[in-house]
Structure 1
Amino acid sequence: MEYRARYITEDIKLSSYDDKFFKSDIMFEHHMLVWFLSGETKIVQADATYFFTKGDIFLIPRNQLATIINYPKDGQPHKTVVMHLSTNRLQHFYAARNIKPLPLKSPKIFSFSRHPLLESCLASLIPYFDMEDIPGDIASLKITEAISILRTLDKDIDHVLANFEEPGKINLADYMEKNFMFNLPLEKFGYLTGRSISTFKRDFKKAFSSTPQRWLTQKRLELAHYQLTEKKKKPLDVCYEVGFENLSHFSFAFKKQFGIAPSQLVEQQ
């Protein structure tokens, strides 16, 4: 994979992947506003799957788990303009505004595809990626403009952008049953369930009578078997969607568990 990124600041970048595809399991630390220039992205969350391509604009709320699979398309690389809406910047923006956000259990991905105001704002960033000396306030002005436009387009967006709470302690078993397919460090799962890593491991043992790694592998293989046999999906797609990092590791673990390789199981059907 050849990856290139050009930055105006650490919060605004032009991102490009030229290889066949790139996959990552991510917990978004900041809200992320994305404008597609070319290519295609598949975003898999616990309760929804999204597809985005050229011209699409969307906002991914922070502290959300997702599997991201980026593809080139029509001979062009996967290329996006990405703007991070950090907590510090949003706190500054909302400091003078009397906003009392309502709690949201699991914020959705917001789509603003091909909206002229937002597209114009993001398109105006393109010339700056080729400049070496950029005025210091440009990025701040552009991010403020983007936030203002988002608030105009969706009246509920304040409940997401102005909510600065960190994850509190929640039911670990329920959370892991819903999100086991995301291949994240245990420290991240601990953070998202409101626990230190030591408390996470202790509570996990109580909930499942197993170690996290053993339980996660078992759950991912069970889901993979279901996807292959009931949903008739391809082994490569299943591999990445259930939390494995590569096809060879997935095939080895699957055969060890079920006595047959994923490709052979598909052929038999």
Structure 2
Amino acid sequence: MDFKLKYITEDIKLSCYEDKLFKTEVVFDHHMLVWFISGETKIIQADKTYVFKAGDIFLIPRNQLATIINYPKDGQPHKSVVMHLSIERLRDFYTNLDVKSTGSGTQTIRSFGKHPLLESCLASLLPYFDIQEQFPETIASLKITEAISILRTLDNNIDHVLSNFQTPHKIDMSGFMERNFMFNMPLEKFAYLTGRSLTTFKRDFRKIYNTTPQRWLTQKRLALAHYQLTEKNKKPVEVYLETGFENLSHFSYAFKKQYGQTPTALMGRK
């Protein structure tokens, strides 16, 4: 595995991955503006799957669960420039603007294609990754401000996303978990996103499901995996990537324990 990260500031990085694929399940603390230089990425959320290719630019809102699978492609590594739009910087940006967030902006991934203004802004960062001198904070602030200003020009509703600084409030746990069980997140993240402490989350969970979160999550993921294998004819390597298992061997072991045969054996019988 050859995975490299270069930071010119804590909010601006260049990632490069040259292996077959890289999978991670995340919920970002900050909005992430991403420009793909090469490679391909599949982003799986509860209600939609996105595929982005070289040249694409998109924004991932914060506090959104996602499985991200990065692939090298056409002999090129998976390479991207990523800009974190942190709450602190966004507060500074919106301080003197007459913008009142309703908190109702749709928290979905926003794609901007290969828009020349955003591409120019992000491409201008590339030379700074090759120099040894420290990247001046003043330039970093200017580049992030430029990116935010361009986003506001391109998307009339983006203010409701970027200027919403609220933390997750207490929501219906059952509905949230039924939509998001396939993401392999720490229980602390599930608790935070449902507006609860970890202790309250566990207590409420047992009241609803009469079992532990860990046991329930495993059963739900295995049931989804079985459905994808038998009804969707997906391969075991595809299924484990999309159902919350850490690796193929762990998936095969858990599946056999539950169903009496490995995913490969099940597909062979079909």
Q: TM-score range by the shorter chain?
A: over 0.9
Structure 2 portions without partners, runs of 5+: none
State the partner residue of 1:13.
Answer: 13
Shift of 1:162: 0.5
Alignment of 1:86-165 (within 5 A): 86-104=86-104, 107-133=107-133, 134-165=135-166
| RMSD between superposed Cα atoms in Å | 1.0
Q: Distance in 2 between matches of 1:151 and 1:119?
A: 15
Q: Distance in 1 between matches of 2:180 and 2:15?
A: 27
- Report whether the alignment pairs 1:74 with 2:74: yes
Structure 2 counterpart of 1:11, one-letter code: D
- The answer to whether the 8 Å contact 2:105/2:157 transfers is no
Shift of 1:123: 0.5
Q: Please state whether the residue corresponding to 1:137 is helix, strand or coil.
A: helix
Structure 1 counterpart of 2:163, one-letter code: A
Shift of 1:103: 2.5
State the partner residue of 2:169.
Answer: 168
State the partner residue of 1:83.
Answer: 83
Deviations 1:104-139 (A, max 9, x none): 375110001110000000000000111222222111
Q: Distance in 1 between matches of 2:251 and 2:96?
A: 51
Q: Distance in 1 between matches of 2:164 and 2:88?
A: 12
Deviations 1:210-242 (A, max 9, x none): 001000000000000111111111111110101
Alignment of 1:15-94 (within 5 A): 15-94=15-94
Q: Please state whether the residue corresponding to 1:4 is helix, strand or coil.
A: strand
State the partner residue of 1:180.
Answer: 181
- The answer to whether the 8 Å contact 2:12/2:82 transfers is yes
Structure 1 counterpart of 2:10, one-letter code: E
Q: Distance in 1 between matches of 2:243 and 2:5?
A: 28
Shift of 1:102: 2.5
State the partner residue of 1:211.
Answer: 212
Q: Please state whether the residue corresponding to 1:194 is helix, strand or coil.
A: coil
- The answer to whether the 8 Å contact 2:105/2:160 transfers is no
Q: Distance in 1 between matches of 2:106 and 2:181?
A: 16
Structure 1 counterpart of 2:251, one-letter code: F
Identical counterparts, % of pairs: 68
Q: Distance in 2 between matches of 1:135 and 1:103?
A: 33
- The answer to whether the 8 Å contact 2:103/2:160 transfers is yes
Alignment of 1:166-245 (within 5 A): 166-245=167-246
Structure 2 counterpart of 1:256, one-letter code: K
Q: Distance in 2 between matches of 1:210 and 1:88?
A: 39
Q: Distance in 2 between matches of 1:18 and 1:196?
A: 39
Moved more, 155-164 or 97-106: 97-106
Q: Distance in 1 between matches of 2:168 and 2:53?
A: 31
